Structure 1
């Protein structure tokens, strides 16, 4: 698809993937669909396709300004309601998106009470964990941490509205599972808003969300439609994508959203100022997040862009995707969280950028150094918003 195609051609599309055939009908947003998404094939027995977002900063390189515009647009879909509101971003792929939408909403509603928290596949701290399932995922177990700060916990337990943010909605099952888990904690939740880049549940399923959830549900998406997927003969490799150990410390931080935030993160302006002064005029720069640690990379990229740097943002992932369609290049490397599962970076090749900056929350380790060696990158350990340490890699 492309934005200059015939609208009727955009509305219906059949895509032959290595894993099967994807039939797609677009009801709204068709004219910008090519700018927002492409198609990829998952190496996943549960789901053989991927609506690959081009504005998410996960599997596709994107300019910070483009991402921030999407955050503003999705924040604008949230209905005007009385607070407090809880924004929850879905791990792994949409953590940065959800945090950006939360911060955009805060900018548009100064003084309003809201909480941001993101789901995770890691335990942090020793507090209560809420578990729910993302059944179609390569790594299905997800967790939501109860905030340890009493004020943040009170926001979660007294909120009347949930805003759940993901890159796409296809069945609504994960949203329902998470909503039910939150309602067991807070029976006072009165409404849910789903904010996604793409909504492929179809009109009937979207219209039936309120009845299905048992409370008013609204949907805000940039592209709406529905899909059907007919699996082919492809057999996905059997490989572990999740090894959760409740007693293992994976080095995931408590400072960037897992235990809740009620304010926007500060951008690393001093670091951006120093780096911008080091880059030659016209140099191309990639800023990479790692796994669930995404939004700090976006903020660094945006700060560099404000200083005139030609920068794009992306992130590593645990999702195995075939090199086909919207994925032209793939690199595999060890998991820097020490879970023992493969990690990947897509659509970025060694030497493609003049500078590659890898942002990570875990302590420096062999996996990060291997990634840095693959991409000739520099490592930046975010110990907090204010304390970012460059890690020697050579």
Structure 2
């Protein structure tokens, strides 16, 4: 039987209708809302330029398409961690009053961003541990930080890895599957230690949104064929499975002899009417009239271990610059968290000292979300955070619409892939800090910095993380 913490809550019948664009309407019916959060605190809507899915829930708590307080996406993962803790300790101490207090803090922090920092630190201070070890897997690209922040809420007995779309020919993927509805379907999983998945621990699959559940089903099938175990948990911010999609989990349980639990911040159903004819676009005039500001390149020593492997792009070109070993892409365990925390503190202090204005935006790039998010959280007041994305979204300037502006450019990691920066207006931020996990050729990053030079009010900081002292290509440190 498919067991879910959501069964503990009375179903909701709140219905929300979104007229997204001409000839596209989405109706959302809540069926469970364990934190009793208003939907407008969780997401807005936009039209997605994708033949497989015409709409997008633009999350307000994820840090992807909308600039947010950096503690908000950290707290969203931690809130899912609380639900997991409660689910796996149903007959134990999770029922005590202090757990209710933590849940309330999480909810208030998500609804009121100014309370997110205090709520997040309160959750970390609780030093939660689960009754047995677990493995977290975050889905690329959008849920890499969500999965990491969910994992990080636990003080011990946890491990984490996120899937990736990057081709790393030096390593063998231990898990491979497809996300059928996505614009980028292939997922790979480069666990340096195959023992990470070879035990019997429950696996927690973390995604920002579950619509059909097919991605989780494909993942479970592949893992179970190589690393069989008894229990899986599928965690997400939003869960829109109904009818047959829910039955698929139950059928898979019976077929494989496993148990699958589900938990989320909001569960419901969606009904879509219409199919708009949209094309990717950007507001060229908006940027054409903006003045350009300087770009300063800074190499920041983080003292983190590097993994000397290469990546290959769609053209077959090789980048030999090493990866950060403990980013989450290659697998980490709870014992690694102290080193990560120390590195984050060092980098945040360095970048905080470089700030010149009261408003700054810190940006992650693609899958590299969690470390930039953590660094942003330590850079002081007036900081917003978001990541670039490869998801093509139609922009419209309406108060009730989720994406007001868009800027497109070829990815520095793979020029065949178009990346986007959404919802950043010229001069909105005094400075923009872009954090890169590894070196890329200057000509590859230039299309992105050309855009950022017109978005930032005073300066663009291109921050390259490095494990040792290094020059700055003449840019100054």
Counterparts of 1:246 and 1:367, CA distance in 2: 15
1:200 maps to 2:243: no
Counterparts of 1:18 and 1:96, CA distance in 2: 33
Give the one of 69, 74, 89 matched to 1:63. 69
* Residue number in structure 2 paired with 1:310: 382
Counterparts of 2:423 and 2:20, CA distance in 1: 21
Give the one of 22, 27, 32 matched to 2:31. 27
CA shift in 2, pair 1:172/1:251, >3 Å: farther
* Residue number in structure 2 paired with 1:232: 275
* Residue number in structure 2 paired with 1:39: 45
Counterparts of 2:70 and 2:413, CA distance in 1: 26
Q: 8 Å contact 2:348–2:378 — kept in the other structure? A: yes
Query: Can you list the C-alpha shifts for 1:33-83, whole angstroms capped at 9, x where unaligned?
Result: 101111111111111111111110100111122222212210112232654
CA shift in 2, pair 1:182/1:34, >3 Å: same
Give the one of 393, 398, 410 matched to 1:321. 393
1:383 maps to 2:466: yes
- Per the TM alignment, residue 119 of structure 1 is displaced from its structure 2 partner at its CA by 0.6
CA shift in 2, pair 1:246/1:275, >3 Å: closer
Q: 8 Å contact 2:46–2:402 — kept in the other structure? A: yes
More helix by share: 2
Aligned pairs, how many?
369
Counterparts of 1:181 and 1:323, CA distance in 2: 37
Counterparts of 1:232 and 1:202, CA distance in 2: 21
- Secondary structure at the counterpart of residue 183 of structure 1: helix
* Residue number in structure 1 paired with 2:80: 74
1:126 maps to 2:170: yes
Q: What stretches of structure 1 of length at least 5 have no aligned partner?
A: 1-6
- Secondary structure at the counterpart of residue 350 of structure 1: coil
Q: 8 Å contact 2:314–2:416 — kept in the other structure? A: no
Please give the TM-score of this superposition, normalised by the length of structure 2. Answer: 0.71
Q: How does 1:141-152 map to 2 (within 5 A)?
A: 141-145=186-190, 147-149=191-193
Q: Which range moves more in the overlay, 133-142 or 368-377?
A: 368-377
Q: What stretches of structure 2 of length at least 5 have no aligned partner?
A: 1-10, 89-129, 281-311, 454-459
Query: Can you list the C-alpha shifts for 1:284-308, whole angstroms capped at 9, x where unaligned?
Result: 1111000111111111111113xxx
Q: 8 Å contact 1:250–1:338 — kept in the other structure? A: no
CA shift in 2, pair 1:247/1:115, >3 Å: farther
* Residue number in structure 2 paired with 1:372: 449
* Residue number in structure 2 paired with 1:336: 412
RMSD: 2.9
- Per the TM alignment, residue 362 of structure 1 is displaced from its structure 2 partner at its CA by 3.4
Please give the TM-score of this superposition, normalised by the length of structure 1. Answer: 0.85
- Secondary structure at the counterpart of residue 373 of structure 2: helix
Counterparts of 2:435 and 2:138, CA distance in 1: 19
Counterparts of 2:169 and 2:138, CA distance in 1: 19
Q: 8 Å contact 1:39–1:51 — kept in the other structure? A: yes
Q: 8 Å contact 2:20–2:26 — kept in the other structure? A: yes
Q: Which range moves more in the overlay, 31-40 or 286-295?
A: 31-40
Q: 8 Å contact 1:59–1:315 — kept in the other structure? A: yes
* Residue number in structure 1 paired with 2:112: none
